A = this chain, B = another copy of it.
């Protein structure tokens, strides 16, 4: 155990879980927030911005990238990371659907 069981759940459910999980860490939320507001999305800035060491930040960036939530393109010595709004929209759509189909007789 310690392993998440994914068999028996739909593809959609598993994909949503991966995306939510990727966002389930303060550093990764902070990275996403920072990317939203910066002109240039460079890891060095993040090192100055977050209370974490560079390797740790690099690791979090990788996880966000693996989940498809951010994309990075090399730009000289630095890397330009930015949000993938498609993935954000997937999560958003799921959450929005919860608000409308809610059964009124429950609770």
Contacts and interface: CB of A to CB of B under 8 A. Distances in A.
Contacts of A51: 5, 7-9
Nearest to A95: B92
Contacts of A41: 106-107
Nearest to A85: B99
B23 A17 contact: yes
Contacts of A16: 23, 29
Contact of A20 (B24, B27, B33, B98): B24
Contact of A92 (B9, B10, B37, B99): B99
Contacts of A101: 36-37
Contacts of A33: 13
Closest 8 pairs between A and B when the two form their complex, measured CB to CB? A8-B51, A21-B24, A82-B107, A20-B23, A20-B24, A9-B26, A17-B26, A92-B95
Interface of A: 4-10, 13-14, 16-18, 20-30, 32-33, 35-41, 50-52, 71, 73, 80-83, 85, 88-89, 91-92, 95-99, 101-103, 105-107
